[in-house]
Amino acid sequence: AMFQTGRFSLVHTAAMAKARKRGYGLTLQVTTGFLQLAMLILWLSHFGSCVWYFTTVNFGNRNAEDNWYGNVPLYDSLHGSSIALQYLFGFYWSATAMLASESFLDPLNSWEIIISLAYVIFGVFFVSSIVSS
């Protein structure tokens, strides 16, 4: 449903028709389904990383240890580091919180607790819907 519009849909339909003629229809269908799922997981982890960073910037003191940013184990290397490293920490938090419901970045203030709880609950529903289908 996620890729059912535009050029991707046209290319996918043409590729499926050619694959069915050659006997690879099921293989291509499983492969594209897996790729769609992988892209969805990456996109949701990206979204969670953005939420992690937004929460840190807007609901806490970035120089204190009362939020995620100040409590990262590599805080000295993270403080004043590039946005890419900060993004990677957020992406790691997002992926682990959504898929494993666990992370080394524990919430330290009320906003972080609310966001972590909502994200873990979302992750439980997301993973259970994947397993049940």
pLDDT score at 43: 92
| pLDDT, tens digit, 9 for 90 and up, residues 19-37 | 889 888 888 888 888 888 8
pTM: 0.71
Give the whole-angstrom CA distance, residue 19 versus residue 17: 5
Q: Average per-residue pLDDT in the chain? A: 78
Residues in the chain: 133
Give the whole-angstrom CA distance, residue 11 versus residue 30: 16
Give the whole-angstrom CA distance, residue 44 versus residue 84: 18
Asked if pLDDT for residue 72 goes beyond 90, the answer is: no
Q: Write the CB contacts of 119 (distance below 8 Å, at least 6 apart in sequence).
A: 48, 51, 94, 97, 98
Report DSSP state, residue 62: T
Query: Is residue 37 within 8 Å of residue 43, measured between CB atoms?
Result: no
| pLDDT, tens digit, 9 for 90 and up, residues 102-111 | 777 777 778 8
Q: Write the CB contacts of 53 (distance below 8 Å, at least 6 apart in sequence).
A: 86, 87, 90
Report DSSP state, residue 61: -
